[in-house]
Chain A
Amino acid sequence: MRVLIPGALRSYTERSEAEASGATLCAVLADLDRQYPGIRFRMIDEQDRIRRHVRIFVNGGQVNELAHPLGAGDEVVIVQALSGG
Chain B
Amino acid sequence: MTQNSATSAAKSKRSTARASRRLLLLVATRKGAWLYQSDAARKTWRADGPHFLGHIINHVVLDSRDGRTLLAAAKTGHLGPTVFRSTDMGQTWKEAARPPAFEKAADAKGRAVDHTFWLTPGHPTEPDVWYAGTSPQGLFRSEDGGVTWAPFSHINDDPRYIEWMGTVQDGTPDGPKLHSIIVDPRDPAHLYFAMSGGGMHESVDGGATFRPLIDGMEVVEGFDRKTVTFHDPHCVRICPTHPDRLYQQNHCGIYRLDRPSNHWVRIGVTMPHQVGDIGFPMTVHPRDPDTAWVFPMDGQTVWPRTSPDGKPAVYATRDAGKTWQRLDAGLPATQAWWTVKRQAMTADALDPVGLYFGTTSGELWASRDEGGKWARIAQHLPEIYAVEAALLP
For A37, the chain B residues whose CB sits under 8 A away are 95, 97
Given contacts A43-B80, A46-B112, A84-B77, contact A38 B97 (CB under 8 A): yes
> Once the chains bind, are A47 and B78 in contact (CB under 8 Å)?
no
For B79, the chain A residues whose CB sits under 8 A away are 8-9, 42-43, 51, 53-54, 80
Instruction: Tell me the interface secondary structure of chain A in the complex.
Output: loop
A9 to B103, CA, bound (A): 25
> Once the chains bind, are B78 and A48 in contact (CB under 8 Å)?
no
For A6, the chain B residues whose CB sits under 8 A away are 78
Q: What distance in Å separates the Cβ of A7 from its nearest Cβ neighbour in chain B? A: 9
For A42, the chain B residues whose CB sits under 8 A away are 79-80, 82
Q: B63-84: contact bitstring with A at CB < 8 Å (1 yes, 0 no)?
A: 0000000000000111110100
Q: What distance in Å separates the Cβ of B360 from its nearest Cβ neighbour in chain A? A: 14
Is B104 part of the contact surface with A, judged by Cβ < 8 Å?
A: yes
A49 to B101, CA, bound (A): 13
> Once the chains bind, are B97 and A47 in contact (CB under 8 Å)?
no
- How many A residues face the partner with a CB closer than 8 A? 22
For B95, the chain A residues whose CB sits under 8 A away are 37-38
Q: Which of B78, B99, B113 is in CB contact (< 8 Å) with A54?
A: B78
> Once the chains bind, are B78 and A46 in contact (CB under 8 Å)?
no
Is A17 part of the contact surface with B, judged by Cβ < 8 Å?
A: no
For B77, the chain A residues whose CB sits under 8 A away are 53, 83-85
Is A23 part of the contact surface with B, judged by Cβ < 8 Å?
A: no
Q: Which residue of A lies closest to B109 (CB)?
A: A47
A residues 41-79 in Cβ contact with B at 8 Å? 41-49, 51, 53-54
For A8, the chain B residues whose CB sits under 8 A away are 76, 78-79
A66 to B338, CA, bound (A): 44
Q: How many A-B residue pairs have CB under 8 A?
A: 58
Q: What distance in Å separates the Cβ of B197 from its nearest Cβ neighbour in chain A? A: 21
> Once the chains bind, are A46 and B97 in contact (CB under 8 Å)?
no
For A51, the chain B residues whose CB sits under 8 A away are 78-80
A9 to B80, CA, bound (A): 11
Q: Which of A9, A41, A48, A84 is in CB contact (< 8 Å) with B104?
A: A48
> Once the chains bind, are A41 and B78 in contact (CB under 8 Å)?
no
A48 to B364, CA, bound (A): 40
Given contacts A38-B82, A41-B101, contact A47 B110 (CB under 8 A): yes
Q: B158-186: contact bitstring with A at CB < 8 Å (1 yes, 0 no)?
A: 00000000000000000000000000000
Q: What distance in Å separates the Cβ of A49 from its nearest Cβ neighbour in chain B? A: 7
Residue of B79, B97, B101 with most partner-chain A CB within 10 A = B79
Q: What distance in Å separates the Cβ of A81 from its nearest Cβ neighbour in chain B? A: 7
For B80, the chain A residues whose CB sits under 8 A away are 41-45, 51
A54 to B111, CA, bound (A): 18
A41 to B79, CA, bound (A): 8
Is B293 part of the contact surface with A, judged by Cβ < 8 Å?
A: no
Q: What distance in Å separates the Cβ of A43 from its nearest Cβ neighbour in chain B? A: 7
A54 to B112, CA, bound (A): 15
Is B374 part of the contact surface with A, judged by Cβ < 8 Å?
A: no
For A41, the chain B residues whose CB sits under 8 A away are 80, 82, 99, 101
Is B193 part of the contact surface with A, judged by Cβ < 8 Å?
A: no
A44 to B80, CA, bound (A): 8
> Once the chains bind, are B104 and A47 in contact (CB under 8 Å)?
yes
A47 to B109, CA, bound (A): 9
Is B102 part of the contact surface with A, judged by Cβ < 8 Å?
A: yes
B-binding residues in A (CB < 8 A): 6, 8-9, 37-38, 41-49, 51, 53-54, 80-81, 83-85
- Can you offer 30 A-B residue contacts whose CB atoms are under 8 A? A8-B78, A9-B79, A37-B95, A38-B82, A38-B95, A38-B96, A38-B99, A41-B82, A42-B80, A42-B82, A43-B80, A44-B80, A45-B112, A46-B102, A46-B104, A46-B112, A46-B113, A47-B102, A47-B110, A47-B112, A48-B104, A51-B78, A53-B77, A53-B79, A54-B79, A80-B78, A83-B76, A83-B77, A83-B78, A85-B77
